[in-house]
Each structure stands twice: as structure tokens, then as C-alpha cells.
């Protein structure tokens, strides 16, 4: 599919600077742009590439002011990053979706499947499960008994959903993720550990996206809950009875221990660890590799470090830590001077 600069500008309500008939049929990062590709400039640190890129069209924000000639045609928009995302949405929507049930899929006679679904080879759907309309179930997906998968949800190859779990509308679950595996519950008994049955489930609300190879454990009782609009990166671990609030985002390798409640609109960097049975309020921002071991009670708190504490204090502590070698040198010098003064007496 080809698009002209004029067509792109009309769709994005932008302005063409250059040739309105310039055409693109692919996208590329601005630093690797080639003829026939569309790139975008949103981060100022990539601004230098706009003067050397071979991309035919580049999206720019309204605040960008070039300081020399640019050979690419530009489309100026309000927000280049959001505009580029809108174009990708448009492109993806034009790709035909798979439909139909492959002959080697296994679907229980008591399961129900909605309209316009795709179910790939070697997918399995268990007893009394309900699949909504326009659901995409790729090959080798396992869906256990009494599972609900609502409309427009996509399950990529190798996703496993254990019994009694519920997935909302418009969710995307990437390959290798397991939803509803047993929570890590064991009771000490005579020098060994007795397994505590995990009889709850996982409830995932609408518009949730979960990356590849994540584990979301079922509750011991009740539900582990991932609320509307949550986005989880690859390799995230969510333990039993955890609740993740609406529109919270977690980067790769985050681990949340059992029964912790996370508020709405939180941002967790990569490899953040959160201890169990804690409560973290709304709009909390946590830097990468932080370890949270106590409740966070103030909305909008920014944390970093392990154990985590306020970001502003962490940065001051790091600055002091970096100065320690100089401080040691100065203290040693002062001690020598004091010793010399004492010897002079």
C-alpha cells in the first residue's frame, strides 16, 4: 500500500512541507530511513538524523524548527509520536484478519464460539468455555474449562489460560504467557512444605495488553485482577491475589508478590520488585530495579532504589555517594594537618 504526503497530512490534520505527491509504502526509524519509507521525529536527541535520513517523508511536531536544509518531505503535526501511532493503527487495520476454524483445532462440544473468529491449528478450547466474536486464537493456544474470552481479544501462539479465568474485550496476550497458573502457596509441615490448593481465578478486564512469557497466578481464593487498560511488558510475574489498577504500566521483569494492591495509572520501570501484602496508591512512579518493601500512601509518589525511597532523596544520596572518594581524601588531609599542629605544640 502506498500513501502520499498529501494523504497522510489530510488523515493527520497536518501540513505538508515539500512535495505533496511524495509516496511511501513502508516505515523506518529516522536514523535508518530509506527511500519510500516514512519516519518520525519526536525525541530531540534524534534531531541530527533528520538532516541525513533518506526517508521520503518525516513526521515532525509543530515545535520543531530546522536550522538547515532537509531533503525529505515533511508533514508537520501537533504531536509526531501520537501521529505516527495513528498511522500504524490505520495500516494495521487494513491488514485482513484471519477467520475460520482450522481442521486440527480441538473445541469441546460444550464450548461456544462467537462470530468471525479465527482458531488456529492445534488450539484447544475446554468444556463450557465461551469465546466472543472476532476473537483471534492462534495455533497451540490452550484454553481450559469454564474460561471466558470476550470480543476482539487476540491470543498469540502458545498462550495458556487455565480453568475458570476471564478475559475482557480488546485484550492482546502475547506468546508464551500463562494465565491462571497456581499461586506460590505452601505451608511448612514437619520440615517440608504442604501445597495450599489455589482455587481462585484470574480476571483480566478490557483493553489489557500482556507481553510474551508473563505469568499471572490464580488467586488462592477469589481473583487475581488486572484492571482495564493495564499494559504489561514481557517477562512480568504477577502473584496470587494481586490487583493491578486501571491503566498501570509495567516494564519487563517486574515482579509483584502475593496479595499486593497496585493503584491506577502507575508506572513501573524494568526489574522492579514489590513485596507481598502491600498497598500502593495511584499514579506512583517507580524507577528501574527498585525494591518496594512498604506501603506507598501518597498519590503521585516517585520512588527509586532498593529499598525504594523518594526519587529526589535518592538523587541527592547518589550525588553524595559519588563525592565520597573526594571527601575521604579531604578528611585524611585534615587529620594529617591536625596531627601536625598537635606535634608542633
φ/ψ (deg, to 5) at 220: -60, -50
Give CA–CA dist 57/186, Å, rounded.
58
The mean predicted confidence, pLDDT, of the chain is 94
Paired with 270 in beta bridges are none
Q: Higher model confidence: residue 89 or residue 297?
A: 297
Per-residue pLDDT, 345: 67
Q: How many CA atoms lie within 13 A of 327 on its CB side?
A: 6
In the predicted model, is pLDDT for residue 51 greater than 90? yes
Per-residue pLDDT, 34: 95
φ/ψ (deg, to 5) at 333: -65, -45
Q: How confident is the model at residue 81 (pLDDT cuts 50, 70, 90)?
A: very high
Per-residue pLDDT, 5: 95
Taking residues 250-268, report their average pLDDT.
98
Per-residue pLDDT, 190: 86
Q: Tens of pLDDT along 103-122?
A: 999 999 999 999 999 999 99
Q: 240 catalytic, yes or no?
A: yes
Taking residues 46-70, report their average pLDDT.
94
Q: How confident is the model at residue 327 (pLDDT cuts 50, 70, 90)?
A: confident
Cell for 221? 481464593
Nearest to 132 by CA among 117, 148, 114, 145: 114
Q: Tens of pLDDT along 5-16?
A: 999 999 999 999
In the predicted model, is pLDDT for residue 313 greater than 90? no
Give CA–CA dist 32/165, Å, rounded.
43
Taking residues 201-210, report their average pLDDT.
98
Q: Higher model confidence: residue 65 or residue 208?
A: 208
Task: Using alpha carbons, list the distances in angstroms from residue 99 to 117, 135, 169, 186, 327.
Answer: 5, 9, 18, 44, 69
Per-residue pLDDT, 308: 73
Taking residues 184-197, report their average pLDDT.
92
Angle value at C-alpha 242, between 152 and 192, nearest 5 degrees: 125
Per-residue pLDDT, 319: 75
Taking residues 319-326, report their average pLDDT.
79
In the predicted model, is pLDDT for residue 314 greater than 80? no
Sheet containing 309-310: order of strands = 100-101, 118-119, 136-137, 154-155, 172-173, 209-210, 231-232, 249-250, 267-268, 285-286, 302-304, 309-310
In the predicted model, is pLDDT for residue 289 greater than 70? yes
Amino acid at each position: 500500500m502506498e500513501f502520499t504526503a498529501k494523504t497522510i497530512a489530510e488523515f493527520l490534520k497536518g501540513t505538508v512541507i515539500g512535495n505533496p505527491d511524495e509516496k511511501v509504502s513502508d516505515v523506518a526509524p529516522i536514523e535508518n530511513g530509506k527511500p519510500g519509507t516514512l519516519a518520525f521525529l519526536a525525541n530531540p536527541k534524534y534531531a541530527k538524523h533528520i538532516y541525513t535520513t533518506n526517508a521520503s517523508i518525516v513526521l515532525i511536531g509543530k515545535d520543531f524548527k530546522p536550522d538547515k536544509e532537509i531533503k525529505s518531505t515533511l508533514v508537520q503535526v501537533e504531536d509526531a509520536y501520537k501521529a505516527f501511532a495513528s498511522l500504524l493503527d490505520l495500516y494495521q487495520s487494513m491488514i485482513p484478519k484471519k477467520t475460520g476454524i482450522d481442521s486440527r483445532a480441538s473445541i469441546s462440544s460444550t464450548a461456544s464460539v462467537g462470530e468471525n473468529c479465527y482458531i488456529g491449528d492445534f488450539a484447544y478450547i475446554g468444556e463450557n468455555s465461551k469465546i466472543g466474536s472476532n476473537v483471534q486464537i492462534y495455533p497451540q493456544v490452550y484454553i481450559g474449562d469454564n474460561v471466558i474470552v470476550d470480543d476482539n481479544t487476540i491470543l498469540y501462539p502458545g498462550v495458556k489460560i487455565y480453568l475458570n479465568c476471564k478475559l475482557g474485550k480488546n485484550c492482546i496476550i502475547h506468546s508464551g504467557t500463562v494465565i491462571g497458573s497456581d499461586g506460590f502457596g505452601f505451608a511448612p509441615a514437619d520440615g517440608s512444605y504442604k501445597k495450599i490448593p489455589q482455587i481462585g481465578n484470574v480476571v483480566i478486564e478490557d483493553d489489557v495488553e500482556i507481553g510474551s512469557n508473563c505469568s499471572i497466578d490464580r488467586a488462592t481464593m477469589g481473583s487475581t485482577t488486572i484492571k482495564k487498560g493495564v499494559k504489561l511488558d514481557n517477562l512480568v510475574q504477577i502473584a496470587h491475589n494481586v490487583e493491578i489498577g486501571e491503566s498501570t504500566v509495567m516494564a519487563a521483569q517486574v515482579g509483584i508478590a502475593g496479595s499486593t494492591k497496585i493503584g491506577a495509572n502507575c508506572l513501573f520501570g524494568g526489574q522492579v520488585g514489590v513485596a507481598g501484602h502491600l498497598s500502593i496508591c495511584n499514579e506512583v512512579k517507580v524507577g528501574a530495579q527498585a525494591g518496594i518493601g512498604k506501603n506507598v500512601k501518597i498519590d503521585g509518589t516517585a520512588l527509586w532504589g532498593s529499598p525504594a525511597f523518594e526519587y529526589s532523596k535518592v538523587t541527592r544520596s547518589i550525588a553524595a555517594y559519588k563525592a565520597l572518594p573526594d571527601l575521604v581524601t579531604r578528611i585524611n588531609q585534615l587529620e594529617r594537618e591536625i596531627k601536625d599542629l598537635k606535634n608542633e605544640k
